[in-house]
Amino acid sequence: MLFLAVFCGFLAENQREHFVENKREKILIRSLLKDLEADTANAKACLNDTMRIEKLDSLLDILYQPAINNMDVRKAYFFNRRFVFAWTPMDFNRNTITQLKYGGNMRLIKNQKVVDSLNGLELLMIFLDDQQKSVRDGMHYSAQLSDEIFNSDFFRVDRKFQRSDFILTSKIPPRFMTNDILLIQKYANSITALRGRTINYHLQLKDYITTNVDLIRLIRKEYHLK
């Protein structure tokens, strides 16, 4: 009788633990789903700055002129200030993935398809972090060169800095701080590189969105969620 009582107690404890883990799994899955949906929306918002690429092309058309006299300096000032450094980085929601991977909770996810997809998604996020760093580094280098060419004082009136489009109709025509055409073309080359890095970043973001959407569908199917 004692053995039977101990055995029944053991079964009851296992059943209780199984119930708790299943409940915890569902909570984590719903939290993960919320993170994935938010990240998908954020990534799509980041892709909305495709116009920035077009404006960088317009800036390059100006800067690659053979002589400064051929350059539209007003528009160069405008494009430089408005579009070169106006970049929207991706801020990932890592809360649930962190709990799963580093809080010892991945064992609670019983569906191997979801586990494999999560591992792949995390690798993609790490790769995108590297892509974002590459874009930031390119922007920093372009900013250093920009500071030797563009004079921010042309945007200042009565000690107040004006909007970017102010320069297009300002009374005082802006001038470059240098006549060194090689420096200007070096800056143009940095913009060309920045443009390429941004395009690569956008391509990876599109892959990330596709991966996210596929994982959302998988989770909804496997866990019978609407």
Amino acid identity, position 194: L
Measuring CA to CA, which residue among 17, 134, 150 is closest to residue 71? 150
First-last CA distance in the chain: 48
Both tokens of residue 158? 């009565």
Model confidence over 173-201: pLDDT tens digits? 999 999 999 999 999 999 999 999 999 99
Give the pair of three-digit tokens for residue 17: 């633990």
The yes-or-no verdict on residue 134 having pLDDT over 50 is yes
Residue 21 has a pLDDT of: 60
Residue 50 three-state SS: helix
For residue 10, the model assigns a pLDDT of 47
pLDDT tens digits, one per residue of 11-61: 444 544 454 466 788 888 899 899 999 999 999 988 877 778 899 999 999
In whole numbers, what is the pLDDT of the chain averaged over residues?
A: 87
Q: What is the pLDDT of residue 72?
A: 97
| Res 88: pLDDT | 82
Q: How far is 122 from 109, CA to CA, in rounded Å?
A: 16
Per-residue pLDDT band at 100 (split at 50, 70, 90): confident
The whole-number average pLDDT for the span 92-121 is: 84
Q: Which long-range contacts (CB under 8 A, 24 or more apart) does 185-190 make?
A: 185/63, 185/64, 186/145, 187/63, 187/142, 187/145, 187/146, 187/148, 187/149, 188/59, 188/60, 188/63, 188/64, 190/138, 190/141, 190/142, 190/145
Please give the average per-residue pLDDT across 205-217, as a whole number.
94
* Full-model pTM: 0.83
Rounded mean pLDDT, 215-220: 93
* pLDDT value at residue 183: 97
pLDDT on residue 8: 46
Mean pLDDT of 56-79: 96
Whether the per-residue pLDDT at 3 is higher than 60: the answer is no
Query: Given this model, what pLDDT does residue 12 score?
Result: 44
Domain map of the chain by residue range?
Answer: 2-222
- Quick one: average pLDDT of 161-178? 95
- Which residues is 161 bridged to in the sheet? 156
Number of neighbouring beta carbons within 10 Å of residue 73: 17
